[in-house]
Structure 1
Amino acid sequence: MQRRKFMQLSGLAMGAATLPFGLVMGRDVPVEHLLEPGADAAAKKRMADIALNAARSKGASYADVRIGRYLQQFLFTREMKVQNVTNAESYGIGVRVIANGTWGFSATSDLTPDGIAKCAETAVAIAKANSKIQTEPVILAPQKGVGEVAWKTPLTKNAFGIPVKEKIDLLMKVNGEALKNGAGFVTSNLFFVNEQKYFASTDGSYIDQDIHRIWPTFTVTAIDKAAGKFKTRDAISSPMGMGYEYLDGLASEKIPGPNGLVGYRNSYDMVEDATNAAKQAKEKIGAKSVTAGKYDLVLDPNHLGLTIHESVGHPLELDRVLGYEANYAGTSFATLDKWKAGDFNYGSKLVNIVADKTQPHTLGKVGYDDEGVPSKEWNLIKDGVLVNYEAIRDQVHIIGEKESQGCCYADSWDSVQFQRMPNVSLKAGTEKRSVMDMIKGVDKGIYIIGRGSYSIDQQRYNFQFGGQLFYEVKNGEIVGMLDDVAYQSNTQEFWNSCAQLCDQDDYRTFGSFFDGKGQPSQVSAVSHGSATTRFNGVNVINTGRKI
């Protein structure tokens, strides 16, 4: 079975946080197949025990098994036409073992007893072969078995149960309203993913999980033919760990902003956003080009999430810190000596950043990670000081931890699990403060909404970020739209310029549905929460000026 094929997505930004390719896993299936039940927990336990017993009989000191059924539905439209609807399923088993102090891994889609046993035996053989060149044995943090448990994403509407026609009707309405309000071109997409994952280990865990994710998105383009100009505006949606209720509008949580600007939390009005996007894209064509210089930046959560992702989430992955991960997007400036010092100033005292796989509706929210470790929350940066990293069972001894932080993940049954970014979020402020309150205190600044192009160096230190919408702030008021805006800084300087936070009422999440890492590459889904935040004296450049 061919596991992967790549399909170009229209309207997606390039980069590690939003990959330009959608990963379609497995075989095409009829749409009704997406609602058919897979194997029950008892059947999966029998398959897992075959693998565990075979691995132990061949000399494994530890083994874990992941039985995965991965379902996807992706819908693509442009203007008033449907471009593609993809329904896919991938199903198989992956077995990971430790033998002679060394990891081994094997996977198969042959789920007969003989196929499963052979897969486990192959994993042990690979581990023993690897052990001949292994210099240090694997040190695995203890994890008490949890027995037979189950966890499911809380949802009220399974997205796969919504008829395709209803979804297409929504996208056609999105596109139609965008065209009616000034868009020359529009693409819109819906992504739905269901991971049915069963984990078992020699520690005594048998964990059955049913994980759902959703991402609605679009790109509108406005054109001024006379001037020969065009501008785009992407959706300000966030992918979520929810069902179709995210789109039904029944529990709309709108966050009001200045000048009628709207943010969304835990629900999303796609039609309204596309209507606003068309109008704003037209406005961008005539927007004033920014004058380069120092500005106070007021950053919306839908924008700041990407900056958190790149300048905090990735550099605090322990495998990057140790240099194990380097070929895909580099290593990290946040080396162990900085953490050991106990006083490394990552940001101002207002900066409190947590890793959290327990936050409801987020992409990283699960019951257990892919090593059977319960989800948890822990501090990464506390009062501006670096206090911890993101680590898994075979890493945590390096930083003196006694148990895994539960952030191990594989994107498929035939991918080996490894350390992935958990949800990484900036805590909201404790003082009552709205976006309007924050802007009133800015004399010379720019209010930035949405994520745009970006660049960051191989140590996740020096960077440049753009956005979707830019509004000039003078003497506490928004005075008009700007264009050609990007800001430059380095991670430490930027986070030390953090001067003010809105409170929890403004807190929202940004999300990455296809965050790339590893070689061979894997993707994962992760959320980043924050309230609107102010950063003082940041260097802004003009990206449109010709030299």
Structure 2
Amino acid sequence: MGNPIDPARALETVDVRIKKELADVALNAAKANGASYADVRIGRYLNQFTVTRENKVLNIANTESYGVGIRVLANGCWGFAATNEVTKDAIAKTAIRAVAVAKANAKIGGAPVQLAPQKGYGEVNWKTPIEKNAFEVPVKEKVDLLLSANAAAMAGGANYVNSVLFAVNEQKYFASTDGSYIDQDIHRIYPSFTVTRIDPKAGSFETRRSLSTPGGMGYEYLTPLENEKVGGITTRYKKRYDILEDIKFATKQAGEKLTAKSVEPGKYDLVLDPSHLWLTIHESVGHPTELDRVLGYEANYAGTSFLTLDKWKSGKFNFGNDKVNIVGDKLQVGSLGAVGYDDEGVKCKKWDIIKNGILVNYQAIRDQAHILGLKESQGCCYSDHWSDVQFQRMPNVSLQPGKTPLSVDDMIKNVEKGIYIIGDGSFSIDQQRYNFQFGGQLFYEIKNGKIAGMLNDVAYQANTQEFWNSTAQICDERDYRLGGAFNDGKGQPGQSSAVSHGSSTTRFNGVNVINTKRKIG
């Protein structure tokens, strides 16, 4: 959804005064044609992909997409239209078309839209707090870094290696009839690689993917800080990432996986690293607490939800035990979901979803807030493109760290029979977000409080309630880290959003582990 551009054009900007003039054209045209409310999003979306394999550059792509999306309320119904012709005349016509769509929708019937009140903020701006714009860094510098990482992997015994650097800049301007004119400059970055090692005698291979975290940061993410390292089996980072060091560990660990013993199925205490646990949080907490899924309005990609309104209304639904505190958060610095204002012009915030194990809230936007008796939106509305309508999307959903000082090493010392899991892998979850199975990248057997060696073919199975009720210990905030993804899919037509999930290393007792090895013959 973008056109190729010269990298230098990525540093160009659109004057905010011009964007305000264009926005006013849309708002005035919508109101003049019968809209009771209107908002307009002027979006310029920039992506850069740098892709390498071994000692070769496979692709360098720079894309730009620029256009306007207009959403209106007329006769109690939503209407939406978009255009890539960013002129006053085209924008006025698009606003009139959006009103016509709303009026046509109103003829179908249904309850009128109820919008939560939202004050106008006037002219404001917000920018991801970056130190170095990734688009300002020469392509050669990025290529040299990736090829250096590949060379380190090949020198360490890798048979194949590929690495990618993905940079995103969303320049988003929002205006509404509430009186907001919000200019935002949002940056995200994701370095990644996959190392493959082969055992030709056994006819087998193993891989280890990077343990990097995509984040709402600039190129400074690739400048490691010594005091941010966390010791242990794998080198981990809280805010910065050392791709050269990670790829050396990855190459060694991929080789170790070739000779690791296969797991014996059974009940184990699991010690889950944040690089793994983020995905379990995403699937078993993030998706089922999206209010549109709870109501059955949304079922694409991830189904509906077992967390129906009656469970929330009871005020005592036991989602997990009292150690489990999970928040929605659009403010956390460095996270993928961090913005100042959402795509409805709502100032972002942080709120409780699971409190001491009890379901206390969901994720809601302006036209859903009244269902929960909320006086305002929670600020989690998002569209992945100017040409798509905004709707409820997952904020950063994170497990809060433990309050008692506890390190990973101390946690492992208390485990008699367990598995330490690092990195995300394949997963499966049902359409109610209840029964699930998760794999990972690295698995280490724990015996009598000590790491006893690497395992293979590990996956664990549980249902959401029994899993979160098995929470035994959570490391303190010193171990808190983010994981996440750029490609959280939802909607029809489908949209993708970027979202992070934070946690500290967490222990879950008595979880069922299966052996995933495929037997032939």
TM-score (norm 2): 0.99
Q: Which residue of 2 aligns with 1:13?
A: none
Match status 1:520 vs 2:503: no
* C-alpha distance in structure 2 between counterparts of 1:301 and 1:422, whole Å: 17
- 244-253 or 421-430: which moved more? 244-253
Alignment map for 1:467-478 (pairs within 5 Å): 467-478=440-451
* C-alpha distance in structure 2 between counterparts of 1:546 and 1:481, whole Å: 21
Which ranges in structure 1 are unaligned for 5 or more consecutive residues? 5-25
Q: CA offset at residue 328 of structure 1?
A: 2.3
* C-alpha distance in structure 2 between counterparts of 1:75 and 1:315, whole Å: 35
* C-alpha distance in structure 1 between counterparts of 2:304 and 2:179, whole Å: 35
Q: CA offset at residue 203 of structure 1?
A: 0.2
Amino acid at match of 2:90: G
Q: SS of the counterpart of 2:283?
A: helix
The partner residue of 1:448 within 411, 415, 421 is 421
* C-alpha distance in structure 2 between counterparts of 1:305 and 1:149, whole Å: 33
Match status 1:103 vs 2:78: yes
Q: SS of the counterpart of 2:484?
A: strand
Q: 1:133 to 1:251 in 2, by over 3 A?
A: farther
Match status 1:505 vs 2:478: yes
Q: Which residue of 1 aligns with 2:152?
A: 177
Amino acid at match of 2:461: Q
Match status 1:72 vs 2:56: no
Amino acid at match of 1:278: T
Amino acid at match of 1:78: R
Q: Which residue of 2 aligns with 1:535?
A: 508
Alignment map for 1:423-438 (pairs within 5 Å): 423-438=396-411
Instruction: Render the CA deviation track for 1:491-525: whole Å, top value 9, x for unaligned.
Output: 00100000001000000000111111110000000
Q: Which residue of 1 aligns with 2:115?
A: 140
* C-alpha distance in structure 2 between counterparts of 1:108 and 1:61, whole Å: 21
Q: CA offset at residue 327 of structure 1?
A: 2.7
* C-alpha distance in structure 1 between counterparts of 2:252 and 2:226, whole Å: 25
Q: SS of the counterpart of 2:311?
A: helix
* C-alpha distance in structure 2 between counterparts of 1:392 and 1:213, whole Å: 24
* C-alpha distance in structure 1 between counterparts of 2:516 and 2:443, whole Å: 13
* C-alpha distance in structure 2 between counterparts of 1:410 and 1:327, whole Å: 16
**What is the RMSD of the two structures over their aligned residues, measured on CA atoms?**
0.8
Equivalent residues, number = 520
Amino acid at match of 2:3: R
Q: CA offset at residue 31 of structure 1?
A: 1.1
Q: SS of the counterpart of 1:315?
A: helix
* C-alpha distance in structure 1 between counterparts of 2:479 and 2:224, whole Å: 19
* C-alpha distance in structure 2 between counterparts of 1:369 and 1:468, whole Å: 34
Q: Which residue of 1 aligns with 2:316?
A: 343
Amino acid at match of 2:228: E
Q: Which residue of 1 aligns with 2:23?
A: 48
Q: Which residue of 1 aligns with 2:347?
A: 374
* C-alpha distance in structure 2 between counterparts of 1:183 and 1:401, whole Å: 55
* C-alpha distance in structure 2 between counterparts of 1:94 and 1:170, whole Å: 38
Match status 1:319 vs 2:292: yes
Match status 1:203 vs 2:172: no
* C-alpha distance in structure 2 between counterparts of 1:466 and 1:111, whole Å: 46
Match status 1:422 vs 2:398: no
Match status 1:386 vs 2:359: yes
* C-alpha distance in structure 1 between counterparts of 2:76 and 2:21, whole Å: 27
Amino acid at match of 1:283: E
Match status 1:31 vs 2:7: yes
Does the CA-based 8 Å contact 1:328-1:519 persist in structure 2?
A: no
Match status 1:150 vs 2:125: yes
* C-alpha distance in structure 2 between counterparts of 1:113 and 1:503, whole Å: 54
Amino acid at match of 2:403: T
Q: Which residue of 1 aligns with 2:462?
A: 489
Does the CA-based 8 Å contact 1:153-1:212 persist in structure 2?
A: yes
The partner residue of 1:122 within 91, 97, 103 is 97
Match status 1:230 vs 2:205: yes
Q: CA offset at residue 248 of structure 1?
A: 1.9
Q: SS of the counterpart of 2:135?
A: helix
Amino acid at match of 1:80: N
Instruction: Render the CA deviation track for 1:329-385: whole Å, top value 9, x for unaligned.
Output: 200011101101110000011000000011111001100000000010000000000
Q: 1:343 to 1:96 in 2, by over 3 A?
A: same
Instruction: Render the CA deviation track for 1:198-252: whole Å, top value 9, x for unaligned.
Output: 0000000000000000000011001111111100000000001000000022566
The partner residue of 2:261 within 272, 275, 288 is 288
Instruction: Render the CA deviation track for 1:392-444: whole Å, top value 9, x for unaligned.
Output: 00001111111000000000110000000000000000011000000000000
Amino acid at match of 1:224: D
Q: CA offset at residue 280 of structure 1?
A: 0.1
* C-alpha distance in structure 2 between counterparts of 1:255 and 1:141, whole Å: 44
Amino acid at match of 1:253: E
Q: CA offset at residue 113 of structure 1?
A: 1.2
Match status 1:63 vs 2:38: yes
Q: CA offset at residue 545 of structure 1?
A: 4.8
Match status 1:83 vs 2:58: yes
Instruction: Render the CA deviation track for 1:86-116: whole Å, top value 9, x for unaligned.
Output: 1000000000000000000000011111101
Q: SS of the counterpart of 2:141?
A: helix
* C-alpha distance in structure 1 between counterparts of 2:226 and 2:47, whole Å: 25
* C-alpha distance in structure 1 between counterparts of 2:241 and 2:496, whole Å: 24
* C-alpha distance in structure 2 between counterparts of 1:328 and 1:464, whole Å: 17
Sequence identity percentage = 69
The partner residue of 2:162 within 177, 183, 187 is 187
Q: Which residue of 2 aligns with 1:21?
A: none
Q: CA offset at residue 261 of structure 1?
A: 2.2
Q: Which residue of 2 aligns with 1:355?
A: 328
Q: SS of the counterpart of 2:207?
A: strand
Amino acid at match of 1:120: A
Does the CA-based 8 Å contact 1:51-1:65 persist in structure 2?
A: yes
TM-score (norm 1): 0.94
Match status 1:299 vs 2:275: no
